[in-house]
């Protein structure tokens, strides 16, 4: 066997080894690609489910916001009416009652003054 024949056999064996190694690498890369595709599909499903949940929660939050906003408007109307009724009550009842109380207080003072004067005049006589 000559040197060239030996070199040819070694190159052929090395080439065969490279082909086997490349084939193994390609098969492994194909398996990794399939695994990545499966993981991508699972992530996509999870995202779709999560998106649906988030949309439902956003809708519920928006409904709750509108409900609370309506309650706040109602509370503001009630407060406004209560302030009006309070002012009306003050002007209709409290003010006249205060005036009547002042009038009675003045009347009581007048009766006291007249009583004291009558008493003095009776004492002088």
- For the chain, how many helices (H) and strands (E)? 2, 0
Please tell me the predicted confidence (pLDDT) of residue 109. Answer: 85
Distance (Å) of CA 34 to CA 22, 25, 41: 18, 14, 11
Res 37: pLDDT: 96
Report the C-alpha gap between 91 and 71 in whole angstroms: 30
Strands, E, within the chain: which ranges?
none
Please give the Cα distance from 107 to 14 (Å, whole number).
Answer: 131
SS (H, E, C) 89-115: HHHHHHHHHHHHHHHHHHHHHHHHHHH
Each residue's pLDDT tens digit, 79-98: 999 999 888 887 778 778 88
Predicted local confidence at residue 50, as pLDDT? 95
Give the predicted TM-score (pTM) of the model. Answer: 0.48
pLDDT at 15: 94
pLDDT in tens, 20-76: 999 999 999 999 999 999 999 999 999 999 999 999 999 999 999 999 999 999 999
């Amino acid at each position: 066997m000559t040197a060239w024949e030996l070199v040819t056999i070694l190159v052929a064996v090395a080439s065969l080894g490279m082909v086997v190694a490349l084939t193994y690498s390609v098969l492994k890369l194909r398996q990794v690609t399939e695994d990545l595709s499966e993981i991508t599909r699972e992530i996509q499903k999870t995202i779709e489910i999560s998106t649906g949940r988030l949309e439902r929660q956003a809708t519920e939050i928006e409904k709750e916001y509108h409900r609370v906003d309506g309650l706040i408007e109602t509370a503001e109307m009630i407060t406004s009416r209560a302030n009006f009724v309070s002012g009306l009550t003050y002007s209709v009842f409290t003010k006249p009652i205060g005036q009547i109380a002042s009038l009675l207080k003045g009347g009581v003072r007048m009766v006291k003054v007249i009583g004291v004067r009558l008493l003095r005049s009776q004492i002088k006589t």
